Structures are given as structure tokens and as C-alpha cells.
Structure 1
Amino acid sequence: MLLTTALVVAMLHVASSLPSQTEASVCIAMPRVQIVQGDAATAAAGLRDMFASYLTGPTLKSVALEARLASQAMEEARVKNCERVLLASLTQKRKGPSRLGKVVGEAAEGALWHVPGGYSAGSAAARSAAVAGARAISTVSSTTRARDEFRLEYRLDTADGRPILRPKTEQMKARTDGEDLLTPLVEKASEAVAAAMTAKQ
């Protein structure tokens, strides 16, 4: 619960940010996600916002894109005056009876999740999306089994499609049940993206 709440707060902080002229900005496209358990679409939004939480700081600004098609994501980035676009995909593989890409809808839980903030329709929608994304990411981590493999592929392009950081892949295999592999994978990828952004300034 504490981990998820921290993710929600970070996601709410960066979700509506727009780049300024003094910061290196990156638009983060909705990732492609294949997971063994949980809702892939919601997990994709959570992964996008997890990237955003890492790629935000004194000299970095991230903007979460909503478009799901790559072509539309590039157009959305141009509309939002973002020169760089991060494209990523996550694949989880499990040895055993579960199939790659199986999407299992989660039943409503008894606990009610609360996120600090105002009560306007817009802020309520943002809180709801942040909670759903954070919960999906938490579910992926908590349901990870020993020997599960995660592969994170990513690249950084300009809004007109020119490469800044060529395609890279990070892979990890779980050693124990419930091991969180997403955090170190996203952190390592974010470090590479931030370095590429800084080098291109």
C-alpha cells in the first residue's frame, strides 16, 4: 500500500506537467505491454507514468501522452511542443501453464484507495487514473513468480522520427516470488534516456 501510494503521488505530480524552455523535455508514449496477470492496458499507463516519475527533475520535464498509436503519439508530441519522444515496450514471460499476454480482469477489492487532492471532475479523473495505473504496476510486481522474465525495450526519437537514443533492451529474471523487477528496469532505462537528453542539449 505504501509503495503504491508513493507511486500515485509521483504520477499525479508529473501527469499534467508541460515543458518549459529551460528544461529538457520528453514526451512519453503509451508503452506496449504483455503481462501474464493483470490488465495490460492499465499497466501500460502505469508504466508510462513510472517513467515520467523518473524523468522529472530540476533540468528534466516529462509529459505523458495519451495516444495509443505510435503515429498519433508523434502528432500529440508535436502539439504539446515536445521535441523528444520515448517509446517503450514491456514483455513478461513465465515458464509453466500461464500464457504470455494473458489478460485477467481483477475483481473489485474491498479496500477503498484514497489519494490526496481536490475534488473537481478533472482532478478526480486524474486521481482515478493514477490509482489504477499504480495498482496495475503493483499487481505485476506482487504476482511475479521466480524465474519470470521481463524484457524492457525502449528508444528515444525526435518528434519527426529521427533517433536520439537507438533501441536498447534491458532484461531481468526473478529470483523469488513477488520480486520487483520493474523498478530497476525502469530506473536503468531512465538513466540512459536522461543521459541521451543531456548530451543532445
Structure 2
Amino acid sequence: MVLTAKNIKKIYNDKVVLRDVSETVGSGKILYLKGESGAGKTTFLRIIMGLEKYDSGELFFSKENGDKAGDISIGASFQEDRLCEDINAFTNIKIANPGVKDKDIASDIERILPGLDDKKTVSKMSGGMRKRISIIRACISERDLYILDEPFTGLDKDNIQRVAEYIKEKTGNGILIMTGHNDDLPDIFGDIIELQL
């Protein structure tokens, strides 16, 4: 699978948010969108997911042989975690990933949130805990495309390392797109494609 963006331009209320953004990224690769707040990172993610229209340019997915791709499966974690408040972590993940075995969900929760009370509802959890649940929900199933908007915000050093290892392992066969503020991406990701917005 290959994602190609050519000269993407987006204007809001006469303000140019994205200007001539171009990049190509294939399966197994990581695209890191970096820039300060308001640089257009989230807008570009929304365009890729089809949630936002762009004003000019081209954006398309294709197979490795050049044929147009069909339906694209996407796992996404947004800056706002968008979890169901009155249910626990397990059920939040299961709802979005019905094909994943219960034991695999439980294992991933224990890996990323060790010792979590399985009766605790999301509404009673800290921002960092909620962020980690959102990341598991986005990454636990095999997808063509993984979109993680500022996945390490609000996490301490130990949890950043734990989550980074998890993300790298789970998303290795798909296209991974992450956003962040300039040089805050953990070294574990190694060779990445950087796009400054």
C-alpha cells in the first residue's frame, strides 16, 4: 500500500493552513508530521482520513503494483481520546476491534497499563491512562494505515518508552503516520520520513 499526497492545499476563512504539501509513504514506513501547534498537522490527518476536503492537489492510495487501492482500513488515535466514558478499558477496545480475541486485548492492556482495575470506568482514569487505551484501540488490529495524533503527549518518560515499543511492534506492516512538536519522537522508531508543516 502506498499513500501519495501531491501539492495539497487547504484554506480556512481566507487563511492558508496547508500549502503545497507533498509526500509519498508505503507500507512498513513511518511518516512523522512535525511542527508547532496550528501548523496544520491535525488538518492534514483529517484530509488523509477523508474527514476534511482539501482545496487543491491530489491525495490517493495505491497498491504496490500501481493499481488503485480499494477500501483502506484505518486505526486512529486523536488528541482527544474519544473513549466511551461509562465503560472500562477492555470494552472500549473491544467495541472498535470486535475480531480481536479477548485474551489478546487483556494482554495488551496489561502490557501498556499494568495492574489496571478491570472494573474501573474510563471516566475515572487520568489523561495519560486514557491516551494509552486510545493507542491500544487504534493499534491492536492489523490495518493498512495507523494515524496517531500526538501519541506521547501527557505521558512520562517510562510510559513513552513502553508505548513507543508497542506502537512500533503493532504497526510494522502498515503505514504509520504520527504527529508531534518538532524533535519529540522517541529514538526507537529509527529511520522515518519527516515532514515539517
Flag whether TM exceeds 0.5 (same fold).
no
Which TM-score applies when normalising by structure 2?
0.27
User: Which structure: greater strand fraction?
Assistant: 2
Higher relative contact order, chain-length normalized (CA < 8 Å, sep 6+): 2
- State the TM-score, normalizing by the size of structure 1: 0.27
